[in-house]
Structure 1
Amino acid sequence: MKAVVTTGQGGYEKLVYTDVPLPSLAAGDVLLQVLASSVNPTDINTRIGWYGDGGWQQTTPFPLIQGTDCCGRVVAVTNPEHQPLMGLRVLVRPCMRPRGFPSMDNVWLGSDFDGAFAQFVTAPASEVFPVNSAWSDAELGTMPCTFGTAENMLHRANLVAGEHVVVTGASGGVGSAVVQLAKRRGAFVTAICGRAKMAQVAALGADRVLARDGDDLAGLPAHMADLVVDNVAGPSFALMLKLIKSGGRYVTSGAIAGPQVSLDLRTLYLNNISLLGCTTWAEPVFANLITYIERGEIRPMLVKTFALQDMAQAQREFLNKTHVGKFALVPPQ
């Protein structure tokens, strides 16, 4: 089969489009024909070594077929009880819990083992979710990682109707998903993004959109938000913490502007703020996402589709950050 193999840390030369053997199936696995995947920051961060020598959670097993998102069709099963999955279009839950949900141990498709930047991929049958939707393969292929991550943050932070949530990086994949999912929960959303993308973020349903480089941020009142969802971090972290009401929450699953932040512990403890770091997904998250898709309660954010062999071009355009949404990748069918 054809696949893009990431051979190690480095530049685009580490992305090699080549022939590789079909993946072998372990007991309980299913074989999927990959219909679509998409570009995520983790793909690039792993390739360039942003996570450090330890890789993403654990040492990255180069050479690696990346690809955290997978919309696929089940073409083979190993256990007779999984026969009803044959031929179905499915999404793969990328965050898997090998020790079960009572443990926080997790492994990720395309980061800890071979993923969906290929014509075929294997996954445990327990991690594939049939999806009944009129969306295209490419649209579905943009959903698992970003929307699952966004839903997990809101689930962990227990966002409820009527609360005020501030979303940084609201034009990014996860940020734009948070805007949609927070509105679905009935929250009031203040979204922060680049000035050129404000209209697009407003169209997602944000109640108020602020430019990240404007004077509006400095003038925001302290203690206005029940929750801050912040995947930007960096220099703005201290300001975001001051926006949170007493007893409020701060949740993050990334650090686009830099992982090193300045924290005044007095702001944290005097205001009884809870800090939540989110990588491991809670059990209901992915099933909830499938339900939202099937009910039409959210919409895909597909910007552009690339052929799998054009991976390097897709990542270059992704890093230009002129888009709002996701780039899909489609392997040869």
Structure 2
Amino acid sequence: MKAITITEESEPLQLVEVDKPEISEDQCLIKLSASALNRRDQWIREGMYPGIQFGTILGSDGCGIVEEGPAEWKGKKIIINPNVDWGNNPDVQSASYSVLGMPTNGTLAEYIKVPIHRLHEKPAHLSDAEAAALPLAALTAFRATIKKGLSNQGKRVLVTGAGGGVSQFAIAFAIASGAQVYVTSGSEEKIDRLKEMGVKEGFNYKNEKWEREASKHGGFDAIIDSAGGNQLNNYLKMIKPAGRIVMYGSTTGHPEKLDVFRLFWSQAQIMGSTMGSDDEFKEMLEWVNEYQIFPTIDKTFDLEDYIQAFDRFKDPDSVGKIVIDFRS
């Protein structure tokens, strides 16, 4: 079968032929129809991810059909929960936690074997490509926005960096919760597009005084952020008393300083979040089904065009998830 692996070659991504997996009694063999890329896949390509093991098949998100396994699953369209050993504590992952695609072989292959308890039926209203876009990004967004940000009716929620796959889901979940949703982006075109989707207002972070404009809206109950860096002090200026700043990434690095006085005087909470438990994965899918949530798909690529698919991460115009379709 064909699979995208990480190697030590000058172009670390290689499409290679590997053996089709053989399953044990507690596993299923999935013939994948689509797999979505995540930023971590690109970081692995760039050598910026810890514990890289060469020869590993990348990819955490996948939709496909059960080709081998128990009768009650065989022939069903499914998506895969990419969590590996979250553990028993719902508040934090275990020390041995990982996700599919590093160090465990992932979904950027024609077939994958997974434990039966990782399977969930594909939401009926989604195409295979849309369903493949769900697992990693939607789970991360659901935990950050709903479980930690406590987004609900009447709350004002700011989602930063609105072009990314996780932020697109965070916007969708926040709107579904009944919150008034605001966004930041470096593109006026993206902001206008998101307003058509139900976002109340957007702010261009390339404008040095964007936080002043944002603060005019009365402050935010929650800010859902993946950037980190020096913007953190701006968030502290616009968070409402006792509000929550939920951070699921740090693409701009560490802040040079932190306005600790503003932090403690506002009673604000700065909270870390990553992925989510198996129970939250189930709850996330319930929301997707109940509110008929659709992923934003940026572009779909054929398997042979995998380099172009990964390079799409470098394009500032990309919005939403990048998907590889195995069916062509």
Please name the residue that 1:22 is paired with. Answer: 20
**d(CA) in 2 for partners of 1:130, 1:220:** 40
Aligned CA distance change for structure 1 residues 266 and 50 (closer, same or farther; 3 Å):
farther
Please name the residue that 1:211 is paired with. Answer: 204
TM-superposed deviation, 1:131: 2.1
Aligned CA distance change for structure 1 residues 149 and 98 (closer, same or farther; 3 Å):
closer
**d(CA) in 1 for partners of 2:225, 2:256:** 12
Please name the residue that 1:64 is paired with. Answer: 56
Please name the residue that 1:115 is paired with. Answer: 106
**How does the TM-score come out when normalised to structure 1?**
0.89
**d(CA) in 2 for partners of 1:261, 1:116:** 38
**d(CA) in 2 for partners of 1:267, 1:91:** 44
1:96 matched to 2:84? The reply is yes
TM-superposed deviation, 1:71: 0.7
* Amino acid in structure 1 at the alignment position of 2:273: C
Please name the residue that 1:170 is paired with. Answer: 162
TM-superposed deviation, 1:180: 0.9
**d(CA) in 1 for partners of 2:281, 2:210:** 35
Write out aligned runs for 1:1-333 (5 A). Answer: 1-8=1-8, 13-51=11-49, 55=50, 59-77=51-69, 82-102=70-90, 104-105=93-94, 106-154=97-145, 155-194=147-186, 195-214=188-207, 215-221=209-215, 224-331=219-326
**d(CA) in 2 for partners of 1:201, 1:320:** 19
* Amino acid in structure 1 at the alignment position of 2:210: D
**d(CA) in 2 for partners of 1:62, 1:184:** 41
On the 8 A contact 2:35/2:324 being kept in 1, the answer is: yes
On the 8 A contact 1:117/1:331 being kept in 2, the answer is: no
SS in 1 for 2:181: strand
On the 8 A contact 2:83/2:278 being kept in 1, the answer is: no
TM-superposed deviation, 1:267: 2.2
Aligned CA distance change for structure 1 residues 113 and 261 (closer, same or farther; 3 Å):
farther
**How does the TM-score come out when normalised to structure 2?**
0.91
User: What whole-Å deviation, never above 9, does each CA across 1:170-200 have from its counterpart, x for those lacking one?
Assistant: 1211111111110100111111112231111
* Amino acid in structure 1 at the alignment position of 2:48: W
TM-superposed deviation, 1:67: 0.6
User: What whole-Å deviation, never above 9, does each CA across 1:286-322 have from its counterpart, x for those lacking one?
Assistant: 2123223333531221232111221111111221121
On the 8 A contact 1:73/1:87 being kept in 2, the answer is: yes
SS in 1 for 2:15: strand
User: What whole-Å deviation, never above 9, does each CA across 1:121-170 have from its counterpart, x for those lacking one?
Assistant: 11121111012414221121112121111111121232221111111001
Aligned CA distance change for structure 1 residues 278 and 98 (closer, same or farther; 3 Å):
closer
Query: Which has the larger displacement, 99-108 or 197-206?
Result: 99-108
**d(CA) in 2 for partners of 1:93, 1:40:** 15
TM-superposed deviation, 1:26: 4.1
On the 8 A contact 2:143/2:276 being kept in 1, the answer is: yes
Equivalenced residues, count: 321
* Amino acid in structure 2 at the alignment position of 1:28: D
| Segments of 4+ moved more than 6 angstroms | none
SS in 2 for 1:70: strand
Percent sequence identity over aligned pairs: 26
Aligned CA distance change for structure 1 residues 291 and 99 (closer, same or farther; 3 Å):
closer
SS in 1 for 2:234: helix
TM-superposed deviation, 1:61: 2.4
* Amino acid in structure 2 at the alignment position of 1:47: R
On the 8 A contact 1:166/1:189 being kept in 2, the answer is: yes
On the 8 A contact 1:31/1:120 being kept in 2, the answer is: yes
TM-superposed deviation, 1:27: 4.3
